[in-house]
Amino acid sequence: MMPAAAKQITHADILPLPDYVKVRKERRSAVVALKKNRRLPVGPHATFYFENFDTMLSQIQEMLY
């Protein structure tokens, strides 16, 4: 079975800075909770971290912030 195509982040998904500032605190709290269960330790010095649309969009918003 082929996996579903990943949703691409587009310019339309990115909030303008003034709008992002208004929702940043709530969004960051939600993403921290989402990221909590996305780590998989594979040894004493390595961890796999699985991203998704929401975590990647958050990273982009924070870089622009």
Q: How many domains does the chain have?
A: 1
Residue 45 domain flag: yes
Residue 6 domain flag: no
Q: With bands split at pLDDT 50, 70 and 90, how would you rate the model's confidence at 36?
A: confident
Statement: residue 41 has pLDDT above 70: yes
Report the alpha-carbon distance of residue 58 to residue 45 in Å, rounded.
Answer: 26
The answer to whether residues 60 and 31 touch, using CB atoms and an 8 Å cutoff, is no
Give pTM, 2 decimals: 0.79
The arithmetic mean of pLDDT across residues 21-35, rounded, is 94
Report the alpha-carbon distance of residue 36 to residue 54 in Å, rounded.
Answer: 13
Report the alpha-carbon distance of residue 52 to residue 35 in Å, rounded.
Answer: 9
Q: With bands split at pLDDT 50, 70 and 90, how would you rate the model's confidence at 2?
A: low
Residues of the domain holding 31:
11-64
CA 7 to each of CA 35, 38, 62: distance values in angstroms, whole numbers, following the listed order = 18, 18, 19
Statement: residue 5 has pLDDT above 80: no
Q: With bands split at pLDDT 50, 70 and 90, how would you rate the model's confidence at 48?
A: very high
Report the alpha-carbon distance of residue 65 to residue 63 in Å, rounded.
Answer: 5
